[in-house]
Every structure is written in structure tokens, then in C-alpha cells.
Structure 1
Amino acid sequence: MIIITGGARSGKSRHAESLLCHYRSVLYIATSQIFDDEMAARVAHHRQSRPAHWRTEERWQRLEQLITPENSPDEAILLECITTLVTNILFAEGGASDPENWDYAALEKRVDDEISHLITLCQHCPSPVVLVTNEVGMGIVPENRLARHFRDIAGRANQKLAQAAEDVWLVVSGIGVKIK
């Protein structure tokens, strides 16, 4: 398992793709959901920038159907991105209620369980797996409760993933620096 982390628009995706350029077959798992025109445009841009021969699955749930012990070691897997996965879990579990009233301890437990499950899937999968995530803790402390908890939960999820990973890359200004 390889982790690629960095800030927004740092070049994480391009770096992750460059690590997999020698694979003839790549399964790209996109965790984003389209809720508005801006997100639709972002997804369209990402779709167009990927090599045409890559297989794409757009989902954030039931990852055990895609990352399995039966995968081929000749097909790499690129999952993008962990922070979107965390966001999806928070909003799915938090429901329509006001985020001010969410039980963030319970939500973090749910995220932690999902990250543990993902690590286990990756450890038992013969395919090389690259996970892209955002480094969200390098800025100021957010002013609202949801953003503060998101930063903390995503940061701890990243730490757990990095601990389990074979390699970890930090991408800054389009340059990848191997930190593990």
C-alpha cells in the first residue's frame, strides 16, 4: 500500500498516476459524489485526464468488492481520495441533522472502522494499491465545529494509513518527496 498526501492542487493525482504508468491495467476507484455543477466539472476533468484504458469504478462503499485477494498482481489499484471517503461517511452517518448536533466520537469510530477495513483489504490484495489523501492539518484551526472535527478525523485516518503503508509520498508544488 502506497499513500500519496499533500495539499489541494499540489499534484497528488499526477504523482499517483506516474507511479502506475508502467501498468497495462489500472483500476481507478473514485470516491467522490456529484452534488452540484462544480463537482460535476471536477469529476469530468479527472475522467478526461486519466488514460483511456484504465478501468474506473465510482464508489465509496463496498470496497471489498473491488480490493480482493483475487485481484491480479498485474493490475494496480488507485483509490482517490481518502478525505472524500471520510466526508462521505460523515454525511451518510450524520444524516440530515445539523452537524452541530452530530456525535463526532461515534462518527470517528465509524471512520476508523472503515479505515481499518480498507487497510486489511489492501494487505490481502496482491495488486499494488495507491491511496490518495489530502493533508488537511497544515493550515489554521477552522472556525466551525464540523471543519475542526473533519480536520481531526481525517488527520488521524491519514496517520493510521501511513503507519500501515509500505511507502508514503508528500507532494508539494508538483514534486513528490518520499517520506517513508
Structure 2
Amino acid sequence: MTTPDLTFVLGGARSGKSRYAEQLALARASSPAQPVTYIATALDAGDDEFAARIAHHRARRPAHWRIVEAGAELAQAIADADDGRTCILVDCLTLWLANVICPAGAEPTERNERNEPAPDDCAARMDALEAALARARSPVIVVSNEIGMGVVPMGAMTRRYVDELGRLNQRVAALAREVTMMVAGLPMTVKGERAR
């Protein structure tokens, strides 16, 4: 199996990860021969502050980029954009996973009557995402938050989210040729040629 042309950019809130990923995509798409498809995972602003964040991201993106809003079907959105020449930028896994675990308007069911995690399609969707990334012919840049460096959160649902995102980040990093950790706006190469 060949390694996909996958770059994974991680970082905390306001670490510069989205801007860095956008710069990578711009460098890839130096001509119309290699356009960019930006797959956005933030579908619902929810409040004025988050709406302002979305507007800030939109204003920063070049107008000629193709924008796809992906809900839970991120794997399908990647497959649909994957034509072998388009640079695909996914921003971000953090919001996508939140929407998968706790869809808008739905109450999460944390445990069943036997105190086991409630069944959902989170594992299947993560498997599908991993498969779509592994099959990609186009260069793909994926952005995610690194949220597992703090204290163990209170609440079973929050702990589950942190655990699932950590597992998902590990899976994507294992597939990626390049992994960059953003710290205070500075790219730190974790995996790839520059890490050697």
C-alpha cells in the first residue's frame, strides 16, 4: 500500500493551525491546474461569537477555492472531491467529531441500562474517514485540535470526546506523511522529512 499524500496539522485553540494549513494549500495550488477544495466541518454557528469565527475563516480564504460543507459524511465529501489533482483541505476534525458524537438538536445518550457506552456510528464513521484518507489520490491536508494535554475533564461525555479525538488523531497521524504541531503560531515538525 502506498502512503497517501496526507499532511496533518495539529494544535491548540488559536495556535495558528488553520492559517498554516491554508498556507500549505496555497503553496500546493500555485495554478488553476491544482485547485483547492476546502471541506468545512462547522455547519452551525450556534452563537454570535462562533459565527464571527466562521466569518473570519471565510474572509481569509481565497474566493476561487471550492467550499464544501460536510456534516457527518466527511468520508464521502473527501471521496467526492478526490480527483487526483485537487488539493483537499479539511478544517477541522475537532468540530466534525463533535457533530458525530453529539449532533445538533440531539441529546447524547452516554450509557445504556447496563452502564455500557451507548451504541452509535462514531466508530464506523472514523473507519470510513480513515479509509477515505488512505485511498486518496489527491494531496490532503487535515486540521485538528490537540486537546488531550490538560487535566482529565469532568463528565463522561466530555471524557469520551477527548478520548475519541485522541484516538482519531492517532489514526490520521499514522497515515500521514507529514505531521506538524502548531505552537504559538510556530510549526513544529513531528513526522516527516524535516523531523529527521
Shorter-chain TM range is 0.7 to 0.9
Q: Which stretches in structure 2 are left out of the alignment for 5+ residues?
A: 1-5, 192-196
Residues 103 and 53 (structure 1), Cα distance of their counterparts in 2 relative to 1, 3 Å cut: farther
Which residue of the partner structure matches residue 131 of structure 1? 142
**CA drift at 1:14:** 1.0
- Describe how 1:69-80 pairs up with structure 2 within 5 A: 71-80=82-91
Which residue of the partner structure matches residue 187 of structure 2? 176
Do the aligned partners of 1:69 and 1:124 also contact (CA within 8 Å) in 2? Answer: no
- Describe how 1:45-56 pairs up with structure 2 within 5 A: 45-56=56-67
Q: Is 1:156 the equivalent of 2:167?
A: yes
2:39 is aligned with what amino acid? I
- Which of 13, 18, 34 is the aligned partner of 2:23? 18
Using the alignment, how far apart are the partners of 2:143 and 2:150 within structure 1?
Answer: 19
TM-score by length of structure 1 reads 0.87
Q: Is 1:62 the equivalent of 2:69?
A: no
**CA drift at 1:2:** 1.4
Using the alignment, how far apart are the partners of 1:14 and 1:52 within structure 2?
Answer: 15
- Which of 147, 152, 166 is the aligned partner of 1:141? 152
Instruction: Answer with 1 or 2: which has the greater Rg.
Output: 2
- Secondary structure at the aligned position of 2:165 is classed as helix
- Secondary structure at the aligned position of 1:168 is classed as strand
Which residue of the partner structure matches residue 6 of structure 1? 11
Return 115-124 or 44-53, whichever deviates more: 115-124
TM-score by length of structure 2 reads 0.81
**CA drift at 1:80:** 0.8
2:94 is aligned with what amino acid? T
- Which of 19, 30, 43 is the aligned partner of 2:54? 43
Number of equivalences: 178
Do the aligned partners of 2:109 and 2:118 also contact (CA within 8 Å) in 1? Answer: no
Which residue of the partner structure matches residue 194 of structure 2? none
Using the alignment, how far apart are the partners of 1:17 and 1:57 within structure 2?
Answer: 15
Using the alignment, how far apart are the partners of 2:55 and 2:124 within structure 1?
Answer: 31
Do the aligned partners of 1:69 and 1:126 also contact (CA within 8 Å) in 2? Answer: no
% identical equivalent positions: 39
- Which of 111, 114, 125 is the aligned partner of 1:114? 125
Residues 167 and 106 (structure 1), Cα distance of their counterparts in 2 relative to 1, 3 Å cut: farther
**CA drift at 1:71:** 2.9
Residues 175 and 70 (structure 1), Cα distance of their counterparts in 2 relative to 1, 3 Å cut: closer
- Secondary structure at the aligned position of 2:72 is classed as coil
Using the alignment, how far apart are the partners of 1:170 and 1:97 within structure 2?
Answer: 31
Using the alignment, how far apart are the partners of 1:145 and 1:62 within structure 2?
Answer: 25
